[in-house]
Each structure stands twice: as structure tokens, then as C-alpha cells.
Amino acid sequence: MKLCTATALFIALYIFLFGTSGCNVSPPPLIKTAKKPIDSINMPEGFTISFYAKNIPNARSMCMGDNGTLFVGTRNEGNVYAIKDTNADFEADSVYTIATGLNMPNGVAFKDGALYVAEVSKIWRYDNIEANLRKPPKPVLVNGSFPTNEHHGWKYIAFGPDGKLYVPVGAPCNICEEKDERFASIMRINPDGTNPEVFAHGVRNSVGFAWHPNTRELWFTDNGRDWLGDDLPPCELNYAPKAGMHFGYPYCHGGTITDPEFGKKQPCSDFTPPAQNLGAHVAPLGMLFYTGNMFPPEYKNRIFIAEHGSWNRSSKVGYRITTVTLDQNGNALAYQPFAQGWLPASGKVWGRPVALLQLPDGSLLVSDDYANAIYRITYQATGKP
């Protein structure tokens, strides 16, 4: 009873001081989030995981501003957040609400002092955002011509080495053919929204991509189709060194699996196979190349993938972070788990990794839209011979 009274007094005081509108800074969200068994996450020896931020509802894609502001998109909440760690202790101090009421604003990207936010059919830009977190500026519409279909319509966005903004458009279905070539693709546009073009075809639903730090060529995850059974088809990690390549959807999956509905129209040999087949239904989302110096040297340029986890499999898979090791020629050598424990033996999932972001010190941030949290993964040598 005393706790409820104290909470009510806090809310009343906040409204008295700030009102219900105007000032756009958000107080710590009054969301009850159960304590998560974060200590149960298993990783290689020397790695540690901790909370960077808690109570971030539906935390999805992330990007970092020039002045250290972490921007976080959401899918179900319709909000975009800014998170500050003002005392540099790697724990969030302040959370600001940049936007509300948007249509699946999953994707966020940062360039030249501006925050770019992707809705299903629109890309917005918030100029000089880090100087205006308490009162964000009115957004500028960059491009409002993307398809409005919400099925696989949420977007991950990022700026490539060419300075263009890459914007995927997922297939508006589980499996189908569409005359509009923008569906099942990764597109790119100029920062001002002009010159939209399809960069990669045959991509069912990519919600994460990155460029190799040495070759500066695009790699991306892709979610495989549903309803071919528990173990088919594999999800994919793909490699697109140039524009115009086709990766098989809806005709071929995993490089060798002919689709039962559309596969007779074009053989798998017509398409580019995956660089690495991932687990079936693991739902790979965010990915990055590790370029920091905190982790052991063997992790340099290794791919980290956030596997969000299955939703329609008889037994759950995914709910983990995996890595893919490449050789000097870019060929995949090993695909293996890195961090597991969000799916315990009981089968009661308590977290779902979504996106990855490397901090300047070499640690990794991981967003979790199920646990409403952002984690930080660090490494310290154990000192053992």
C-alpha cells in the first residue's frame, strides 16, 4: 500500500511540474518488468553480459549519434527513443521519447547530425536531433513512396559506404510473386530521398545488414518462408558484392530447395546461393562485423547475428546470438552459437535478441524487444594460462 501511495505521489508531482504535454523528455517508464535471469546467459569464457538500459518498451533497431546518444526504434509501440549515458558508466541515465504514434518505426539511422526513422511507407529525418532531445524538431519527410503493406513492412535502415540509405522492402506475404519489383528486395535512396532503386532482388525479409570492414561489400540476413515443416527452409546469411543480384525468393530457398509453389518457374541455378545457411525458423535479424579491440583477436571481422527466435515451430529454436567466421576470401568457415539462455530448458522464453551495436570501447549492445531491455556484452581475459 505504501509503494502504491509513493508511486501515485510521484506521478502527481511529475504532472504538476511538467504537465502532460509540451516538454518531450520522458521520465523513467513506469512499466513493471520482471527481473530477468540474465546470469543464465551462456557465453565463451571471459565474456560478461549486463543491463545497459531497462524498461525500454519493444526495443528494436539501434543507432548511435555523434555525441553518444543511443537511438532506439520499435515495432509494436510506435515510438522512437533516445537514451543517454551521461556519466559514462555504461548504464542509461535518461530516456527521451523522440516520436510517438508512428507506423512500425523499427528502423533508425544517423547521418550528419540527423536521425532518420523508417515507418512502413515513409522515411523521416529529425535534424540536429542531439541538441533537441527534450523538444525534438518537426520531422522532414525524406521519402513517402514505399509500399504501405504491413506484412513484413517494418524496416531496418542503414547508410552504406556509398553514402546512400539502404531500405529493405519485405515480401507482403509468406510466399508469393509480386509484379512490383520493390517487394522482396533491398532498395537504396539518396540521403534526400531521391533516386530510389532496387539493389538486391529475391530477399524475402531482411531486418539486418552490414558492410564488410575491408571490402565494404554488403552482407545481410534473410528470414526463410514458413509452413515447409520444422526444419525447412533454412534462414540465410547472404553476400551482395554488387547491385542487381537475385537471391532466389520465391523460387528457391537456401540455395538448393525448390519452392513447392513457385519453384518450377525458375531453377535454383539461376540465383545466388547463401553465403551461409542458418537454422530453419531462427529468425535472424540484426548483424554486424566485429571491428573492436576488446574481444580476443580471433573475433576480429567475425559476423555476429541476433536470432530473434521461431514462432511456428513445434519446438522453439533461436533466441540467441550466433557468429559466422569467414576466411580471407570471404567464405564462411563456421556458424556457431555465441550467447544462449533466453530460451531455457523449460521452454519459457524470457528474451528475444533483435539488434546489435558496437560501442567505441569494443563492447556490444544487444536490444531485446521481449524483455524491453538493452544489454551490454564485454570481455575480460581470465588470466588463465
pLDDT at 117: 99
Asked if pLDDT for residue 33 goes beyond 50, the answer is no
> 352: exposed, middle or buried (C-beta count within 10 Å: 0-12, 13-18, 19+)?
buried
Q: What is the mean pLDDT of residues 54-72?
A: 98
Alpha-carbon distances, residue 176 vs 137, 164, 183, 234, 310 (angstroms): 40, 29, 10, 18, 21
Mean pLDDT of 124-136: 98
Mean pLDDT, range 199-218, rounded to an integer = 98
**pLDDT computed for residue 36 by the predictor:** 63
Question: DSSP letter string over 185-215?
Answer: EEEEE-TTS-S-EEEEES-S----EEE-TTT
**Statement: residue 253 has pLDDT above 60:** yes
Answer with the residue of higher pLDDT: 242 or 19. Answer: 242
Q: How confident is the model at residue 22 (pLDDT cuts 50, 70, 90)?
A: very low
Read off the pLDDT band of 34 (50, 70, 90): very low
Closest listed residue to residue 358, CA positions, set 4, 64, 43? 64
Specify the pLDDT at position 24: 34
| Residue 10 scores a pLDDT above 70 | no
Are the beta carbons of 356 and 287 closer than 8 angstroms? yes
Does residue 239 contact residue 217 with C-beta atoms inside 8 Å? yes
Q: How, if at all, do strands 158-159 and 165-169 pair?
A: antiparallel
In a domain, 385, yes or no: no
* pLDDT computed for residue 223 by the predictor: 98
| Average pLDDT of the segment spanning 285-306 | 98
At 382 the pLDDT is: 81
Query: Mean pLDDT over all residues of the chain?
Result: 91
Each residue of 335-385: pLDDT tens digit? 999 999 999 999 999 999 999 999 999 999 999 999 999 999 999 998 654
Query: Domain limits at 186?
Result: 2-379
Q: For residue 347, give the C-alpha cell.
A: 521452454
Does residue 212 register a pLDDT over 90?
yes
Least confident of 20-29, 151-160, 164-173, 324-333: 20-29
Q: In residues, how long is the chain?
A: 385
In sequence order, what are the residues at sequence separation of 6 or more whose Cβ sits closer than 8 angstroms to the Cβ of residue 271? 202, 246, 247, 248, 251, 252, 255
| CATH, residue 105 | 2.120.10.30
Q: How confident is the model at residue 37 (pLDDT cuts 50, 70, 90)?
A: confident
Indicate whether 299 belongs to any domain.
yes
Confirm whether 90 is domain-assigned.
yes
The pLDDT tens digits for 96-117 are 999 999 999 999 999 999 999 9
pLDDT at residue 86 tops 60: yes
Is 15 in a helix, a strand, or coil? helix
pLDDT band per the 50, 70, 90 thresholds, residue 8: very low
| pLDDT at 35 exceeding the cut of 70 | no
Asked whether 357 and 61 are in contact (CB, 8 A), the reply is no
**Do the domain assignments include residue 384?**
no
pLDDT at residue 13 greater than cutoff 60 = no
Please tell me the total count of domains within the chain: 1
Rounded mean pLDDT, 147-154:
98
Closest by CA to 272, choosing from 238, 297, 296, is 238
C-alpha cell belonging to residue 18: 511538467
Quick check: is 170 in a domain?
yes
Q: Residue 263 domain-assigned? A: yes
